[in-house]
A and B are shown apart, each in its own frame.
Chain A
Amino acid sequence: MAILSKKDTNLILDPLADNNPITIQVLGICSALAITAELQASVVMALSVIFVLGVGNVVISLMRNIIPSKIRIIVQLVVIATLVIIVDQVLKAFAYELSKTLSVFVGLIITNCIIMGRFEAFALGNNVWRSFLDGIGNALGYGVILIAVGFFRELLGSGTLFGIKVFGDPVTKTGLYATGYENNGFMIIPPAALIVVGIIIWIQRSKNRALIEEN
């Protein structure tokens, strides 16, 4: 017997492609614009969201029968904020360098609409294991797009990946820059992220025509 049933596998795989939180549901766009100028920041953000959404979905699912529906949004916010603060404090104590990179994103994780969206749409009505898989799946779907956008923006905008120069030195004109190539400064400003996300959405829908809305 497989560890995951087919239904469970779909919980993880669907958000990666045909039900992607960014490209299909168009959630979490704000952080996709704000922090994808560098690949490293995208990766750190993706990992933090995987943790917060995975654990958060479990906590909400455990409490799903006792949360008063009138204040469920507040309860969800409290759970997210608590998790984020604990992560931040633990990192500050044991991985100080990493916590400095992460500190920028703490506020962004709390406001990330994907997290509240999954709490509200899934964890409140499903058991713990399925909620956990759903959380991991959606966070992965979010992370994949974030990393793809970060890859193109850092490569084309700064000519680097993870801060390593891949095209040569733009100031002393070595490598690719000797042929007259220039970094595209437009790629490092936020609107470029919208265009990159737009192109990803375009490619995805032209591959799978069932995703195109009719009107």
Chain B
Amino acid sequence: MALNTEKNVYTVLFAALMVIAVGSVLAFVASGLSEKIRENERFEKQQNILYAMGVNENANEGSVNFVPTTEVEAEFQKYITEQWIINGEQRTQNQEAYLIDLKKEIAAAKKGQVPRLPVFIGEKDGQKYHILPMYGKGLWDAIWGFISVDENMVVQGVYFDHKAETPGLGANIKQRYFMDDFIGESLMDGSRYTGVSVAKGNNDPLNQRKEDNAVDALAGATITGNGVSAMIRESVNLYKDYLETIREN
């Protein structure tokens, strides 16, 4: 077949057809799968929230296992008793509060608008957990998570995740040993809300001191660690009024 592929007309036509073909293939794939993908994302959020309040399937030391996706919806109904949206002074219950994208709300807050902040109240074995979402920046891209506290502002559990931190370094924020260190730390230093910071050289690698508002940092992941500290501080700041109303001492 004698096809002159050097002609400009041919080149332009080829490029145009290629863009149309590739565009339709990608659009077809994306629209066909979008529902399934959204469902996966919803389940993941529920799993993360439950993980932060200690509802998980962690078996041995070091494992991070969520409630399976097939059961997560039922478990979420069972353990999360209330979902609130805090909109300035106004507080409303909303069963879909967990779908709020905190990233957008933080951006809105920075523009001076009143953000819609979700809070989840969970109950397990007679104890109440207040679970707050977090969103921040690591070294390469976004980091986010959930933190659960009791009425004394003591952390009951956390879950961290990240988009693109370095494997083996910053990505270790979602490892069990790092997340478990936060349990028992206080968000308050005296009467100030300080959050919990990720500190280097605090001479407490086993994290035995729980009153120091700090956990041991990850080697080689200073900027991700600082991002985690900043993220917790920002969330505590956003939710200060709410925390003040539930605080008991």
A and B from one assembly? yes
Q: Which residues of chain A (137-161) have a CB below 8 Å from chain B?
A: 153-154, 157-158
* A58-84 vs B, Cβ < 8 Å mask (1 yes, 0 no): 000000011111110011001000100
A78 touches B22 (CB 8 A): yes
A82-B30 Cα distance, complex, nearest whole Å:
12
Which listed segment binds A: B32-40, B71-79, B195-203, B241-249?
Answer: B32-40
Smallest beta-carbon distance A190→chain B, Å: 9
- A134 located at the interface, meaning its Cβ lies under 8 Å from any Cβ of chain B in the complex: no
A51-B240 Cα distance, complex, nearest whole Å:
49
**B-side contacts of A69, CB under 8 Å:** 5-6
Interface range, A side: 35 or more
Q: How many residues does chain B have at the interface if contact means C-beta atoms less than 8 Å apart?
A: 30
A66 touches B5 (CB 8 A): yes
- A86 located at the interface, meaning its Cβ lies under 8 Å from any Cβ of chain B in the complex: yes
**B-side contacts of A93, CB under 8 Å:** 33, 36-37, 40
B167 touches A92 (CB 8 A): no
Given contacts A66-B3, A89-B37, A171-B206, contact A188 B220 (CB under 8 A): yes
- A32 located at the interface, meaning its Cβ lies under 8 Å from any Cβ of chain B in the complex: no
Given contacts A38-B168, A66-B5, A104-B167, contact A96 B205 (CB under 8 A): no
B6 touches A68 (CB 8 A): yes
- B59 located at the interface, meaning its Cβ lies under 8 Å from any Cβ of chain A in the complex: no
- A53 located at the interface, meaning its Cβ lies under 8 Å from any Cβ of chain B in the complex: no
Given contacts A154-B168, A171-B205, contact A70 B29 (CB under 8 A): no
B22 touches A41 (CB 8 A): no
Which listed segment binds A: B11-19, B94-102, B104-112, B231-239?
Answer: B11-19
- A85 located at the interface, meaning its Cβ lies under 8 Å from any Cβ of chain B in the complex: yes
* A85-103 vs B, Cβ < 8 Å mask (1 yes, 0 no): 1100110111010000001
A158-B221 Cα distance, complex, nearest whole Å:
14
- B150 located at the interface, meaning its Cβ lies under 8 Å from any Cβ of chain A in the complex: no
Q: Can you name the residue of chain A whose Cβ is closest to the Cβ of B10?
A: A68
B220 touches A89 (CB 8 A): no
**B-side contacts of A158, CB under 8 Å:** 168
A17-B15 Cα distance, complex, nearest whole Å:
38
Q: Can you name the residue of chain B whose Cβ is closest to the Cβ of A72?
A: B5
- A35 located at the interface, meaning its Cβ lies under 8 Å from any Cβ of chain B in the complex: yes
* Partner of B167 from A41, A68, A70, A82 at Cβ < 8 Å: A41
Task: Enumerate the 4 nearest inter-chain pairs by beta-carbon distance, A residue then B residue, closest first.
Answer: A37-B168, A93-B36, A41-B167, A93-B33
Please name 23 pairs of A and B residues whose Cβ atoms are closer than 8 Å in the assembled complex, sorted by A.
A37-B168, A38-B167, A65-B3, A65-B5, A66-B3, A68-B11, A82-B25, A82-B26, A89-B29, A89-B33, A92-B33, A92-B40, A93-B37, A96-B40, A96-B44, A103-B164, A153-B168, A158-B168, A171-B205, A188-B168, A188-B169, A189-B169, A189-B220
